[in-house]
Amino acid sequence: MRLIALVLMVFLAAGCSTPNGNENGDNSEEAVASEEAVAENPQQVEEEAQPRELEVDPRKKVPLWSREGLTIQPRMEDFKQQPPAETHEPGTTVWEESDYPVPEEFTAEGDERATAPGALLGQLTADLRFADALGHDVWEQTTRVFIEDDEHATGMILQWGIKDDSVVGTDLRVRMARDDDGWYVIQLDQRFHCARGVTEDQLCL
C-alpha cells in the first residue's frame, strides 16, 4: 500500500510542472530573454505596440519655423494635383526683383525703424495697400517671417485666389536687416503662380 501511495505522489508531482519550464509551460530561457529585452529597451517595445501611422503626404512634412517652410505655398501644390484642364501644366515663375519700389522711409536711409522684423513686414504690407484687394480680387493673404540671424530676416507676403485666368497667386519676398536704429528693408522679390503654365520668359500663359 505504501508503495502504491509513493508512486502516486511521484506521478502527481511530475504532472504539475514541465521540463525546463515554468508553471505556464513557457520555456524558461525564452521567458528570461524576453523579460531582459523589455527591461533593456522598454520604449522600443512600447513603440512597436502602437498602431502604425498612415503614410503622410510629403508636402506636409515641410517643417514650420524653417527656411523650407518659409516660401512654400501649399495651395499651389494642391492646385497642381487638380489643374483646370488636362492640357494645362500649372507652374511657378522664378524669383525676380519686384516692380514694387521699397518705400524710402523703410530703407536704411529712412527714418521709419521697427523694433522687430514682423512689425516692419506689417508696416510694409499696409503701405503697399495689399489688404485692399482682399474680398475683391484676392481670396486670402498670409505673412511669415524667418529669422536668419541677429541682424537679418526674411519675410513673405503670400496672396492666393486671385480672380485671373492666368495668375492664381503671387508671393512677395522681403529681405530685411537691422542696425543700431532698428529693422529696415533691403530688397523685394516677387514670383507668380500660373494656372496654365509658365513661358520660357518666366511669364504666366
The DSSP annotation for 170-201 comes to EEEEEEEEEETTEEEEEEEEEEEEESS-B-TT
Cα separation, 60 vs 68, whole angstroms? 12
pLDDT bin (cut points 50, 70, 90) of residue 49 is very low
Q: In 117-152, which positions are buried (b, 16+ CB within 10 angstroms) versus exposed (e)?
A: bbebbbbbbeebebeeeeeeebbeeebbbbeeeeee
Q: Which of 37-51, 54-68, 70-84 has the lowest mean pLDDT?
A: 37-51
pLDDT bin (cut points 50, 70, 90) of residue 9 is low
pTM, rounded to two decimals: 0.68
Q: What is the pLDDT of residues 90-145, one digit of tens each?
A: 999 999 999 999 999 999 998 878 999 999 999 999 999 999 999 999 999 999 99
Cβ neighbors of 148 (< 8 A, separation 6 or more) are: 154
